[in-house]
Amino acid sequence: MKFSTKAIHAGQEPDPSTGAVMTPVFLTSTYVQEELGKNKGYEYSRVSNPTRTALEKNIAALENGAEGLAFASGMAAIDAIFRLLAPGDHIIVTNNVYGGTYRIAKTVLENFGLQFDFVATTAMENVVLARKPNTKMIFVETPTNPTMEISDLAAIAKFARAHHLISVVDNTFATPFLQRPLEFGIDAVVHSVTKYLNGHSDMIGGIVVTSRVEIVEKLRFSQKAVGGVMSPFDAWLCLRGIKTLAVRMKQHCESAMHIADWLSRRKKIVKVNYPGLKNHPQHALAKKQMGGFGGMISFDVGSLANAKKFLKRVRLCALAESLGGVETLISHPATMTHASVPKADRKKNGVTDGLVRISVGIEDIEDIIADLEQALNAI
C-alpha cells in the first residue's frame, strides 16, 4: 500500500463483532480471561488496549517499522527512549532540540547518572568529536525546533552502526509523510503525535517506532512497569487525525513555502529559517532526504521588544504553545518552548529573543499573510 492508503487503513480492520468501519474506543481497564493462562490477547489496559494497538500498528506502517509503542505524551516517549540506557552512559544530542528534551535531560535524567552532550549534529565532525568511550546513543532532531536545521540521516546512521550506538530521530516536525528515518538506517523514531500526526490540537500523545526487537522488548516492559501509556480515547482521536495526514501535509508545505518566501522579502525581518528556501544552509540536504519542507518556519524580528509588539497584534494566528494543528499557531521560543534552556545556550543555538516560530495551518494563505502583515506594522 502507498502512504495515503496506509494512513487510512493500516492497523484498522473492520470490527469483527459489528463490522464497524472505524476502530472502536475500548474504554475498559481489564478483560475477562477464558481460563487461567488463556485470554483473547488482552489482560489489562496498562499493558495493551485494542485501540492503542491499532494506532501503534498504523504509525509503525507509516514509518515502515516493525513495531510502534504509544505513550501518554511525546515527552513520555522520549523519557522511555533515554531509559533504555544505564547510569554512566553518555548520549549525544542535537544542540537545539525542543526545550522539553533539554529539560528532561539536564534536570531529571542527569540526576540518575545519564550524561548528555549537546552538539551541532548538522556537522558530522562535531558528532565524531563528541563521542566518548561510554557513548551509547545519539539522539537527533531534524528539522530542529525552532531553528529548522537539518542533520544528515544516512551519515548519522552509518556513524552509529560503526560505533554500536543506538540512533534515535525525533521526526515530529517532518512526519513520516515527508521523512522516514528508519529507511536511512536509524534505529528508532520518536514523535509527539500531539502535533502533525493528530493534527487537530485535541489530544496529547507520543510514539516510538523501531524494527529492533531488543528495543521493542525493553519499551514494552517500560509501558507495563511504568504505565505512561496513551489513553484509548486519545489513541482513537489520533487515528482519526492520521487519516487526513497526507492531504494536510501537502497544504502545510505549500502554504509554508509561500509564506517563508513572503517573509524573506520583508525588511523588518532579520532572518527567516525554512529549509525550503534556497539560502538555507542545508537546503540541498533537506531536498535530498525529505519529501517536502514542512509547515514550520521561524523568523527573527530583531529584538524582544519587536517580538512583543508583533505577537500582541496577531489575530488569526493564535499565540499558543504546540504546533502541527490545522490552525496557524505562533509562539516565542525564548519565553515559551525553550524557556528552560539557559539564555547563553539559546543565543549560541540561534534562539534569540527576537525569534518567532510559526506553525503554518491550512487556512487560506492570503488570510495568514494579511494577519502577519498587519502584525508586522506594529514594529
Beta strands 296-300; 271-273: pairing state: antiparallel
Q: Report the predicted TM-score, pTM, of the whole model to 2 decimal places.
A: 0.96
- Domain identity same for 231 and 343: no
| CB neighbours of residue 343 within 10 Å | 13
Mean pLDDT computed over 94-104:
96
Beta-sheet pairing, 188-192 with 135-141: unpaired
How far apart, in whole angstroms, are the C-alpha atoms of residue 300 and residue 1? 42
Tens of pLDDT, residues 39-57:
988 999 999 999 999 999 9
CATH number at residue 121: 3.40.640.10
Distance from C-alpha of 219 to C-alpha of 222, rounded to nearest angstrom: 5
Q: Distance of alpha carbon 103 from its chain centroid, rounded?
A: 16
What range does the domain containing 349 cover? 246-376
**Is the CB of residue 335 less than 8 Å from the CB of residue 271?**
no
Residues 66, 102 within the same domain:
yes
pLDDT band for 37, please (50, 70, 90 cuts): confident
Q: Is a pLDDT exceeding 90 seen at residue 178?
A: yes
pLDDT band at 16 (very low <50, low <70, confident <90, very high): confident
Verify that 258 and 235 share a domain, yes or no. Answer: no
My answer on whether 263 and 123 are in the same domain is no
The predicted pLDDT at position 356 comes to 98
Cell numbers for 300, please give them: 527573527
- Dist. CA 307–CA 281, nearest whole Å: 24
- What is the pLDDT averaged over residues 300-314? 98
Residues annotated as part of the active site: 46, 98, 170, 195
| Same structural domain, 46 and 99 | yes
The model's confidence at residue 6, banded by pLDDT at 50, 70 and 90, is very high
Peptide bond just before 275 cis, omega within 30 deg: no
Task: Give the whole-angstrom CA distance, residue 185 versus residue 171.
Answer: 14
pLDDT digits (tens, 9 = 90+) for 196-212: 999 999 999 999 999 99
- Same domain, residue pair 224 and 307: no
Average pLDDT over all residues of the chain: 97
Same domain, 59 and 147: yes
Q: What tens digit of pLDDT does each residue of 220-258 get?
A: 999 999 999 999 999 999 999 999 999 999 999 999 999
Q: Is residue 92 domain-shared with residue 134, that is, in the same domain?
A: yes
Q: Are residues 132 and 20 in the same domain?
A: yes
Q: Which of 242, 272, 292 is the last residue of a domain?
A: 242
Categorize the per-residue pLDDT at 157 as very low, low, confident or very high, splitting at 50, 70 and 90: very high
Q: Is the pLDDT of residue 113 over 90?
A: yes
The total number of structural domains in the chain stands at: 2
Rounded to 5°, angle at Cα 123 from 119 and 125 = 85
If one counts every other C-beta atom within 10 angstroms of the C-beta of residue 228, the result is: 17
Distances from the Cα of 41 to the Cα of 13, 16, 30, 250, angstroms? 16, 15, 12, 38
Domain of 292: which CATH number? 3.90.1150.10
User: Does one domain contain both 253 and 238?
Assistant: no
Label residue 10 by pLDDT band (50, 70, 90).
very high
Which of 211, 242, 273 terminates a domain? The answer is 242
Percentage of the chain lying above the pLDDT 90 cut: 97
Note whether 230 and 267 are same-domain residues.
no
As given in the structure block, the three cell numbers for residue 26 are 475500548
Name the domain boundary from 242, 257, 275. 242
Q: What is the mean pLDDT of residues 304-332?
A: 98
Distance CA 341, CA 31 (A): 44
The verdict on 292 and 204 lying in the same domain is no
